[in-house]
Structure 1
Amino acid sequence: MRILDTHLHLIYPDRFSYPWIGPGHPLNREWSHESYFAEAVGLGIESALHMEVDAAEADMEAETAFVLELPRIAGAIAACRPERAGFVAHMERLSAEPRVKGVRRILHEVPDELSEQPIFAENLRRLTDYDLSFDLCLRADQLRPIGLRLVDAAPDVQFILDHCGNPDIAKDGLEPWRADTAALAERPNVAVKISGIATNARPGWQPHDLRPYVEHLIHVFGWDRVVWGSDHPVLTRNGSLTRWVQATREIVGSARADEQARLFRRNAERIYRVG
């Protein structure tokens, strides 16, 4: 099965500053393009979309420019600041590079009030002018108050919900996550990324621990609105790339070949306009 990874983080501390990665942090080292693909190619991962790594604001655009010059990087989801008056000028610069496929502002680590400002939704609506999508990165408790509000405020924007909406799998967090993701799935402008959930599971997790979450999302979103992502190297905090690929293959192993192809590659090519 050919795979397009929609959520690869590359970390180069010698080039860029990452305020959230301090001394002693498990990711506080280089995570290079070469080391990732040394493992990924053997798993069927042919290419990847780079997901911004919440680099220092001064490094955001440089990070995007750098990763787009690397082999097998099919495009980038760049960092953005919709709460800022300079958002439009930033999008003008980004859209000059066709390999920028979307943007993201991490919302689970900032005050909720930041995304509640009117300018935030106003700027998100402008993404249609640039044919850019928006990746929603939220905690499970933010899905309804923040996720639904933003999606409804920008109905013409393509949203992708990262990391399955971050269910608390270690604490059997199916509810209210299940109801909240079902509500998001009712919005036709939302897709969901099957990624990141191993990080939220107990150490020593098995595929059956993740299966109810993946199967629920496929059920409510359908096979045409699911994409696959590794969340490498964050996933190494509670697993490995090989283990995550194998687990996903096992969970969807009974699906038809064309359904698996949609999850692992075809939907991403359409939603992120790759190829």
Structure 2
Amino acid sequence: MKIDAHQHFWHFDPEKYSWISDEHIRRDFLPADLKPMLKNVNFEGTILVQAHQSEEETEFLLNLSAENNFIKAVIGWVDLNSEEIEASLARFSENKLFKGVRNTVYDEKGEFMTDPAFQSGVSKLANFGLIYEILVFPYQLTGAIALAEKFPDQKFVLNHLAKPDFSKAPSEQWKQDIQQLAANKNVFCKISGLLSEAGKDWNSSDFSPFLDVVVKSFGTERLMFGSDWPVSLSGGSYNESVKIVEDYFSAYSEEDLKKVMGGTACEFYNIS
């Protein structure tokens, strides 16, 4: 099954989604907008990911998943610092499509993943079989490494390769941090957000040095494609997001390509 492991829907609100600066995507994006593009590239499903830190949005995403069978899993948000965290996780986990949680990095400061209250919340996820999705900037990878090492039985997945600067060669620090994070076998990585970070001025070859690092670090068995649509529209079309990754892995075996383009996501998110 071909799976887009990272996409978003929203009813645009300039206050809630203040991090969205591109005027072209400061509007509503809903299932009817994405469905024909998925069909065009033979994708059978998606992983729908939160874009605002509220339980209200999590409920909105779960409602969309009930109405659209191509949504195979939902990554929502709950307040991991809350004393009521277990009650929130129990409530959302009643929905079998609720597979995990994420924090939007724009709403967090510094090494938030090393905060004791936050880590206490993360410690509750495994009890519900839930994933934590790591969204960080490169300078926050140290915190991600510490989190992964502290909870070796917790499933983690890095989003967007930690948002490096694709206009330059990969920094030595980023490469070292990616390798150290990947040394934790409980951590997977999404090849996502390439066009979201690159903007309009890019060539496919710009991404290759970064993909070389994550393939060497994680192996194809812990990598999964994600478009980051509609944020990716800031840099190019949906088809271009797919083509960049498929072209890169054309030098690999068909089995490796199938893993990256859906097989790993199906296993990681327990999609039948």
Whether TM exceeds 0.5 here: the answer is yes
Residues 224 and 265 of structure 2 are in contact (CA less than 8 Å); yes or no, is this contact kept in structure 1? yes
Alignment match, 1:88: 86
Alignment match, 2:122: 124
RMSD: 2.0
Q: Give the aligned residue type for 1:60.
A: E
Match for 1:36 among 34, 54, 59?
34
Q: Give the aligned residue type for 2:105.
A: L
Residues 155 and 189 of structure 1 are in contact (CA less than 8 Å); yes or no, is this contact kept in structure 2? yes
Aligned CA distance change for structure 1 residues 141 and 24 (closer, same or farther; 3 Å)? closer
Q: Give the aligned residue type for 1:9.
A: H
CA distance in 2, matches of 1:36, 1:204: 24
CA distance in 1, matches of 2:23, 2:78: 24
- Give the TM-score normalised by structure 2: 0.93
CA distance in 2, matches of 1:26, 1:156: 41
- Give the TM-score normalised by structure 1: 0.92
CA distance in 2, matches of 1:90, 1:220: 35
Moved more, 213-222 or 110-119: 110-119
CA apart distance, 1:148: 0.8
Residues 121 and 154 of structure 1 are in contact (CA less than 8 Å); yes or no, is this contact kept in structure 2? no
Aligned CA distance change for structure 1 residues 200 and 13 (closer, same or farther; 3 Å)? closer
CA apart distance, 1:156: 1.0
Q: Give the aligned residue type for 1:10.
A: F
CA distance in 1, matches of 2:138, 2:21: 28
Alignment match, 2:192: 195
Moved more, 20-29 or 196-205: 20-29
Return 5+ residue gaps in structure 1 as ranges: none
Matched, 1:50 2:53: no
CA apart distance, 1:252: 0.7
Moved more, 70-79 or 253-262: 70-79
SS of aligned partner of 1:134: strand
Matched, 1:179 2:176: yes
Q: Give the aligned residue type for 2:219.
A: G
Aligned CA distance change for structure 1 residues 43 and 59 (closer, same or farther; 3 Å)? same
Matched, 1:215 2:212: yes
For residues 1-275 of structure 1, what are the structure 2 equivalents within 5 Å? 2-13=1-12, 18-20=16-18, 25-54=23-52, 57=54, 59-69=56-66, 70-112=68-110, 114-144=112-142, 146-201=143-198, 203-275=200-272
Residues 62 and 97 of structure 2 are in contact (CA less than 8 Å); yes or no, is this contact kept in structure 1? no
CA distance in 2, matches of 1:24, 1:138: 20
CA distance in 2, matches of 1:137, 1:86: 23
Q: Give the aligned residue type for 1:254.
A: A
Number of aligned pairs?
A: 271
Percent identity between matched residues is 22
SS of aligned partner of 1:170: coil
CA distance in 2, matches of 1:108, 1:138: 9
CA apart distance, 1:25: 4.1
Moved more, 218-227 or 112-121: 112-121
Q: Give the aligned residue type for 1:11.
A: W
Return 5+ residue gaps in structure 2 as ranges: none
Residues 17 and 59 of structure 1 are in contact (CA less than 8 Å); yes or no, is this contact kept in structure 2? no
